Amino acid sequence: MNSKQRYMVPLLFIGTVLAGMLSPMQSAVNGQLGKELADGNACAVVSFGSGLVVMFIIILSERLQDNNLLQFLRKFALIIYLGGVG
């Protein structure tokens, strides 16, 4: 077993434990947000919307490392950006 393999198992274990902690933390944050807003639907919109924005930024940053934003956006028809509007 080389040194890289020796350190990978503990690092992956720690990463797994940290990832497992995310779901209960998200539940606690959503519960507190629901209390502050006093509206479950508004809480869901804020939680989902903020997650959507973060994921959109991550995806764009991954895809646009060597491409420019306009070239990427021109690949799709306008109707795709409008989603279910209509």
Cα 30 to Cα 52: distance, rounded to the nearest angstrom: 15
Burial class (CB in 10 A: 0-12, 13-18, 19+), 79: exposed
Two structure tokens written together for 33? 């947000």
What's the pLDDT tens digit per position in 25-79? 888 888 888 888 888 888 888 888 888 888 888 777 776 665 666 676 677 766 6
Q: Which residue has the higher pLDDT, 14 or 23?
A: 14
pLDDT at 16: 92
